[in-house]
Amino acid sequence: MAVNQKAIRALGKVLDAGFTDEKAISAMTMDDILSMQGITVTDIALINELQKSIKSNKVISFLGGGVE
């Protein structure tokens, strides 16, 4: 399984914005996401998928590009 580089970059933006654990990332609102520097529509979609992956305990699958 190859690493999803776009997901890694989006995760980096989330971490840089101060959301450093699963609980904080899951609790992010759209306002939180939109206030992040350099956010793109693709990043928003990836962050949404990351939140879903956290809730379903499939973060490694998400980072590897294997999320359905």
Number of domains in the chain: 1
Residue 9 covered by a domain: yes
Residue 18 covered by a domain: yes
- For residue 1, the model assigns a pLDDT of 57
Q: Tens-digit pLDDT profile for the chain (68 aa)?
A: 578 899 999 999 999 999 999 999 999 999 999 999 999 999 999 999 999 999 999 988 888 877 55
Residue 42 covered by a domain: yes
- For residue 10, the model assigns a pLDDT of 92
In this structure, what token pair is assigned to residue 29? 């609102």
- For residue 23, the model assigns a pLDDT of 95
Residue 38 covered by a domain: yes
- For residue 16, the model assigns a pLDDT of 95
Q: Which domain holds residue 19?
A: 5-63
18-55: b or e for each residue (b if 16 or more CB lie within 10 Å)? Answer: ebeeeeebeebeeebbeebeebeeebeebbebbbebbe
Residue 55 covered by a domain: yes
Residue 53 covered by a domain: yes
Residue 68 covered by a domain: no
